Amino acid sequence: MDAAAPGPFPLRGIRVVVTAGGTREPIDPVRFLGNRSSGKMGNALAAACREAGAAVELITAALPPPAAPEVSVTQVETAAEMQRAVWTGLDRADVLLMAAAVADYRPRRVAAHKLKKSADELTLELVPTVDILESLREHPRRTRVLVVGFAAETDDLLANAADKLRRKGLDLIVLNDVGAPGVGMGSDDNAVTVLDPHGVVLTVQRSPKPEVARRLVGLVVERLARRHAV
């Protein structure tokens, strides 16, 4: 990894992987388990990184994928597919921005044919999906990559985000209160608090997601410069 370049393109020479959207876990050929993530925050991050001069790979579960100029797009659907794409991307990355909302559970069995509606109750047995961030502890390049996780929370915000940062061994975590009006999943605006292992390092009040993305990219540039200076 080269040091982040000064001037108008501070991420020139830096390779960034961004994940976006909510993964979908199939129930049958037409139904799935998912969440409300639109992919807007991840898309904005990919665009902001590209504006800063980075080579960007966007791994997205959002439909349809964005038409982002000069951004390499990998389309995925499930948590397992996203994990494989992230692991491959990390082989050549300096930064991972894990903005995707990855489903926590998947059906144990996927029906080969569409399940027919009946008067009977339908019970789905769910099992945990792969924990992508946790799995990165085993990746041979993990210590050379700046890993930024995201925490979408509705209660005990700072405590839950700090716990996730610690458990998953992240460098930074971006917390947003998805229960707050106007900044939840699918909104055009966001408001975030960023933590590192020592506490809060950045707060961005409600702003359009592209502006939030630029502020986050500025923090990434700062952290990369700090790593290079060590």
In whole angstroms, give the CA distance from residue 82 to residue 22.
Answer: 10
Q: Who contacts 42 (Cβ-Cβ below 8 Å, separation ≥6)?
A: 18, 19, 20, 21, 58, 60, 62, 97, 99, 100
pLDDT tens per residue across span 26-61: 999 999 999 999 999 999 999 999 999 999 999 999
Residue 73: what pLDDT?
94
190 is catalytic: no
**Residue 118 confidence class, pLDDT cut points 50, 70, 90:** confident
Where is 214: in which H helix or E strand?
helix 209-229
Per-residue pLDDT, averaged over 6-13, amounts to 84
Catalytic, out of 35, 43, 160, 176? 35
Distance (Å) of CA 92 to CA 84, 134, 141, 170: 14, 19, 9, 19
Residue 3: what pLDDT?
54
DSSP symbol at 138: G
Whether the link from the prior residue into 8 is cis, omega within 30° of 0, is no
Per-residue pLDDT, averaged over 142-164, amounts to 95
Q: Who contacts 119 (Cβ-Cβ below 8 Å, separation ≥6)?
A: none
pLDDT tens per residue across span 157-176: 999 999 999 999 999 999 99
Q: Output helix, strand, coil percentages for the chain, rounded to the nearest 5.
A: 30, 30, 45
**Residue 95 confidence class, pLDDT cut points 50, 70, 90:** very high
In whole angstroms, give the CA distance from residue 136 to residue 228.
Answer: 22
C-alpha triplet 168, 169, 170: angle, nearest 5°:
95
**Residue whose entry in the numeric block shows the structure tokens 């100029």:** 69
CATH superfamily of 15-104+127-229: CoaB-like (3.40.50.10300)
